[in-house]
Amino acid sequence: MNASPLRLTRNICSDQILDEPFPLVIVKNVLPPQLIADIKSGLPPLEVLLDGNAFTSNQRFNYSATAVARNSTLASVVKDLVAAHLNQEFLDDIIRLFGAHILKQYPDFEERFGALTALKAGIRGQTNDSNCNILLDSQIAFNTPVEIGGTTVRGPHLDDPRKLFIGLFYLRLDGDDARGADLEIYRSKVEPARLDITRTANLADMELLETVKYEANTLVLFLNTPISFHGVKPRARTQYHRVFLNLLGEMPTPLFAIDPNRDRLFGSDISRAQY
């Protein structure tokens, strides 16, 4: 077993997983203070993360695991943090924590993808092994500085139906005192929930259940389901970028279906879905 102190899930227990509104866990102060300080000080500056891309206010970008591995100037602790979530040990943690919830949400999961305990991890964008059941990704994600205050980078939405889980590990920069940018957890007040082409819901249709502060060293990890609505609280104007480690596991086919017209969700039977 990989005993890396940077594997964020290694000390989480299954009884910490909340059932409502969807399976998730929120953990603060995940890493020791000195370790999180080393990670934040080792993060590349915004111009490196942008990699030459033009940007607008409050825009989302991902600095991929591949880019991290190839950048010889990055601090080793940052490289190790990313790498610690691209292996079988991390996937085994996910199954240990969410296994029962996965089978409850998706009763035909093992029929479609194989036994939970036998799932083999690969790396998204790097692995060509057809024996891998799930592809992991670990990215330095960031939202660019906010020029127009009170805007959100993403309202209440669902993630890609191919994702089995999503993890957000906040790495808020020292000196960043801008209001907002917290994670918001929602429940839909209408059934079925109405979605646009980006899988984003109308805010008026949503009930805000919980707000997770954008604080360094906080981990939010949740199962991707047809009701896993989440969004980002509007952020005040700021020169700082919002930065976090983005974790995910991608299945070869969607776990649930979204109407091809993308205006509503219609359940978990994907037999008629077109992607």
| pLDDT at 259 (0 to 100) | 66
| pLDDT at 239 (0 to 100) | 96
Q: Would you state the structure tokens that stand for residue 192, as one six-digit string?
A: 């079925």
26-32 LR contacts (CB < 8 Å, sep 24+) = 26/212, 26/218, 26/219, 26/220, 27/218, 27/219, 27/221, 28/215, 28/217, 28/218, 28/219, 29/217, 29/218, 30/169, 30/217, 30/218, 30/219, 31/5, 31/6, 31/217, 32/5
Residues 1, 227: Cα–Cα separation, whole Å: 33
Contact criterion met (CB below 8 Å) for 142 and 239? no
Domain ranges of the chain: 15-250
Q: Would you state the structure tokens that stand for residue 238, as one six-digit string?
A: 């700021």
Q: Return per-residue pLDDT of the chain as tens, 275 residues.
A: 446 899 999 999 999 999 999 999 999 999 999 999 999 999 999 999 998 999 999 999 999 998 899 999 999 999 999 999 999 999 999 999 999 999 999 999 999 999 999 999 999 988 777 789 999 999 999 999 999 999 999 999 999 999 999 999 999 999 999 999 999 999 999 888 888 888 999 899 999 999 999 999 999 999 999 999 999 999 999 999 999 999 999 999 999 987 645 444 434 333 322 22
| pLDDT at 266 (0 to 100) | 39
| pLDDT at 1 (0 to 100) | 43
| pLDDT at 194 (0 to 100) | 84
| pLDDT at 31 (0 to 100) | 97
User: Where do we find the tokens 């020169």?
Assistant: 239
For residue 56, give Cα distances in angstroms to 36, 179, 200, 212: 29, 19, 20, 25
Contact criterion met (CB below 8 Å) for 244 and 171? yes
CA dihedral 257, 262, 263, 266 (to 10 degrees): -10
Largest Cα span, the chain:
51
pTM as predicted: 0.92
Q: What are phi and psi of 214, to 5 degrees?
A: -75, 85
| pLDDT at 246 (0 to 100) | 98
Domain 15-250 sits in CATH at 2.60.120
CB 114: neighbour CB atoms within 10 A? Answer: 14
